[in-house]
Amino acid sequence: MSKRFGGVQAVRELDLEVGEGEIFGLLGPNGSGKTTVFNLVAGVLAPDAGEIRFGGVLLNGLPPHRRAALGVARTFQLVRSLGRLSVADNVAVARLYGATPARSVDAARQEASQLLALVGLAGKAHLPAASLNLAERRRLEVARALATRPRLLLLDEPLAGLNADEVQAEVGLFRRLREEGLTLVLVEHNVPAVRSLCDRVAFLHAGEKVAEGSPEQVLSHPRVVEVYLGGAAG
């Protein structure tokens, strides 16, 4: 798939395939097109060329809410919450829509509190979402995305701005989600976390795929080393 913004080719003839139950990492310097890939898959942007398929279904042309109903969920790099709603209702509203919606508002609120317990926000359920700190809001985004009952979860820099303990907690959560059968794709700059978490990674540079494979293979690929470190050295 390809996407151009004015004169900038954000994604150039990129070909990616993620298997069911995989944890897949997208790496690359800022501006390499990682978030654009997410936006193309989630339906926020339409590709100029190419196809996006999800479990055999062609996603091209479907609005984001239809993709959510098919089981695609995402978090945002710059966290977004429904600020004046309670933490619980942020999750409950997602539980009422998405792939397999709850049957009633009450049922949705009940299931929302279970999801909040899963991400460690049970004690904050009744606070307005705007009162949470960054780490809490990132976890709220994950709970909200999970509430849509997705098959594919797109995580845009879920570890950015978190301290070491918080990163550990998130990595553990993502592993558990995979064990439950979820497929995860994450954009992340935290190399140690990517190394320990991802089955496969792809490295993007200027919208093109430079390398793809296991984290070890990709992170030792000469072009990757050059782009990550060579800029500073040269």
Partner 1 sequence: MNPSVAAAAAVALAAALPWVAGDAAVNWGLLVLLQVTVAQSWNLLGGYGGQVNLGHAAFFGIGALVTRGLWVQGTPVVGALVAGSAAAAVAGLVVGLPSLRLRGPYFAIGTLAMAEILRIVVGTTLPEVSALPSDLITGYRLVPRYYLALALAVLSTAVVWRVSCSRFGMGLVAIREDEWVAETVGVDTYRHKLAALLLSAALAGAAGGAFGYYHLSFYPQFVFSPVWTFDAVLMVFLGGIGTVWGPPVGATFFVLLREALALRLTELHVLVFGAVFVVVVLTLPGGLVDVARVLRAMRVRRPQPA
Taking CB under 8 A as the criterion, which residues in 59-78 touch partner 1? Answer: 63-65, 68-69, 73-74, 76
Q: Which stretch binds partner 1 (CB under 8 A): 6-14, 82-90, 162-170, 191-199?
A: 82-90
Residue 89: φ, ψ to 5°: -70, -25
CB of 13 to partner 1, least distance (A): 27
Nearest to partner 1 of 93, 224 (CB atom): 93
Nearest to partner 1 of 104, 114 (CB atom): 104
Residue from 50, 97, 111, 208 binding partner 1 (CB under 8 A) = 97
CA angle 188, 191, 192 (to 5 degrees): 125
187 binds partner 1 (CB under 8 A): no
CB of 153 to partner 1, least distance (A): 12
User: Residues binding partner 1: what is the number (CB under 8 A)?
Assistant: 32
User: In the complex, which residues of this chain contact partner 1 (CB under 8 A)?
Assistant: 42, 44, 63-65, 68-69, 73-74, 76, 80-85, 89, 92-94, 96-99, 101, 104-105, 108, 144-145, 147-148
